[in-house]
Chain A
């Protein structure tokens, strides 16, 4: 379980997060949603430790990310996998080398053949074994996201974080990526946190949904109850799409 406690963050005079707390349960897809500029990505970066919050802490199964010795922090980080918005693949490496990178860096004792097997297994899991020898520039945006997922799961992480996994993708590919994230969460029994503003994802895979508004947690619940939420800000966000109105 991941617990975030009173996360506050400002850049200069501008407060981005005004004290956000939440719990993300194991084997669950937890979604952080909100309009652009509400602090979703900043919150995610605070959770994974890329941005240090001004106040608050994040606990990974009881271990503090910001108040633990560096060895513990390193151990927590090595249990994380992250899918970035643009994939964040290394341009100079092939798809297989990108997926293999965490293994090469973190697992010294594993045989080369074992590493290759794990890489191929991860690529098969995301349906990209044929693209193993291609460079990131030679594959599509959706494929890059899938490679990002393969790289994130190659170390069998306990926590998976996805920053807007559907951005820039067509609706069909978006649904496939959502399904893949959901399947992998169940299969690897991970705690998955997804930042998105895509209502299809919310309705499709959201087991726990947290709505951020002006840097604060405005609402939390599951994807079914979101349609009947009383928060006007959330209703404005959810029913901005005519399709969502049809669901009522």
Chain B
């Protein structure tokens, strides 16, 4: 029953962000502010994680390709498909669930505890729309952008380690990247990252928005935001793979 109640509360919360919105002029500066917080502040961690993941993928794929009948360019192909289909969108979003999700839940949770959200409500402002909607829109713009960046850096990491580690020649790697390329995979990665961004921002905001208690509960809300977002991402990942591939 509790699970059903939570789902219902989550959807009511979501509808509250778009019903009785504030005037349009209010949102652009808030969205830009959130885009900077989500995007710029996550750039470094995404860059580090994705380039190392790409590098490791290249080395491990090469290590497993022992048959002389398999051309080395397959390393590039495997790196490309793994990056586009799974590593860049899913792994990046799992990392961002930790960073952005906990940040959002903590920020909104502390606003709730210190009555800042009540202050907004008393002024006649729709607090969920004013506080949450810009975060959702910003996340849905910036997280796919970060996933595109992650894809590029992951492949670059694989290329650099492969070439400078004498694992593969530049020609073989690039040829592997081009072999059998399906543009749909890029589209698929973008759809995934968009869905994951929506899940991270809404689940984290929801957890923060309904925080009650004090500092301890803010920490618990952040933790729940991360774990629930990661579970949501994994379930959505499976469903999208089933539906779209």
Could you tell me which A residues sit within 8 Å of B by CB distance?
45, 48-50, 70, 73-78, 80, 82, 84-86, 88-91, 101-102, 105-106, 108, 151, 161
Q: Are B123 and A102 in contact (CB under 8 A)?
A: yes
Across-interface contacts of A77 in B (CB, < 8 A): 121-124
Across-interface contacts of B130 in A (CB, < 8 A): 105
The minimal Cβ–Cβ distance linking A187 to chain B, given in whole angstroms, is: 21
Supposing A84-B119, A88-B119 touch, asked if A106 and B114 sit within 8 A by C-beta, the answer is: no
Supposing A77-B124, A78-B123 touch, asked if A88 and B118 sit within 8 A by C-beta, the answer is: yes
Supposing A77-B122, A80-B122, A84-B115 touch, asked if A108 and B23 sit within 8 A by C-beta, the answer is: yes
Chain A CB within 8 A of B182 CB: no
The minimal Cβ–Cβ distance linking A248 to chain B, given in whole angstroms, is: 37
Q: Are A50 and B25 in contact (CB under 8 A)?
A: no
Chain A CB within 8 A of B81 CB: no
Can you offer 21 A-B residue contacts whose CB atoms are under 8 A? A48-B122, A49-B122, A50-B118, A70-B20, A73-B124, A74-B124, A75-B124, A78-B123, A78-B124, A84-B115, A84-B119, A86-B114, A86-B115, A88-B115, A88-B118, A91-B114, A105-B130, A106-B123, A108-B25, A151-B119, A161-B122
Q: Are B26 and A105 in contact (CB under 8 A)?
A: yes
Chain A CB within 8 A of B174 CB: no
Bound: A90/B108 CA distance, A: 12
**What is the total number of residues of chain B having a CB less than 8 Å from a CB of chain A?**
16
Across-interface contacts of A102 in B (CB, < 8 A): 123
Could you tell me which B residues sit within 8 Å of A by CB distance?
20, 22-23, 25-26, 114-116, 118-119, 121-125, 130
Across-interface contacts of B124 in A (CB, < 8 A): 73-78, 80, 106
Q: Are B123 and A105 in contact (CB under 8 A)?
A: yes
Bound: A84/B117 CA distance, A: 11
Bound: A162/B68 CA distance, A: 80
Q: Are B115 and A85 in contact (CB under 8 A)?
A: yes
Closest 6 CB pairs of A and B: A77-B124, A88-B115, A88-B119, A78-B124, A82-B122, A84-B115
Bound: A82/B124 CA distance, A: 12
Contacts beyond the supplied A49-B122, A50-B121, A88-B115: 5 A-B pairs with Cβ under 8 Å:
A70-B20, A84-B115, A88-B119, A105-B26, A105-B123
The minimal Cβ–Cβ distance linking A80 to chain B, given in whole angstroms, is: 6
The minimal Cβ–Cβ distance linking B211 to chain A, given in whole angstroms, is: 15
Across-interface contacts of B116 in A (CB, < 8 A): 88-91
The minimal Cβ–Cβ distance linking B214 to chain A, given in whole angstroms, is: 12
Bound: A86/B115 CA distance, A: 8
Across-interface contacts of A151 in B (CB, < 8 A): 119
Supposing A105-B22, A105-B26 touch, asked if A50 and B125 sit within 8 A by C-beta, the answer is: no
The minimal Cβ–Cβ distance linking A125 to chain B, given in whole angstroms, is: 19
Across-interface contacts of A70 in B (CB, < 8 A): 20
Across-interface contacts of B121 in A (CB, < 8 A): 49-50, 77
Bound: A158/B112 CA distance, A: 26
Across-interface contacts of B22 in A (CB, < 8 A): 105
Q: Are A84 and B20 in contact (CB under 8 A)?
A: no
Bound: A75/B114 CA distance, A: 25
The minimal Cβ–Cβ distance linking A150 to chain B, given in whole angstroms, is: 13
Q: Are B114 and A105 in contact (CB under 8 A)?
A: no
The minimal Cβ–Cβ distance linking A103 to chain B, given in whole angstroms, is: 10
The minimal Cβ–Cβ distance linking B53 to chain A, given in whole angstroms, is: 34
Q: Are B122 and A50 in contact (CB under 8 A)?
A: yes
* Nearest opposing residue in chain B for A82, CB measure: B122
Q: Are B118 and A84 in contact (CB under 8 A)?
A: yes
Bound: A151/B115 CA distance, A: 14
Q: Are B119 and A82 in contact (CB under 8 A)?
A: yes
Bound: A55/B14 CA distance, A: 27
Bound: A88/B112 CA distance, A: 10
Supposing A105-B22, A108-B23 touch, asked if A88 and B114 sit within 8 A by C-beta, the answer is: yes
The minimal Cβ–Cβ distance linking B139 to chain A, given in whole angstroms, is: 19
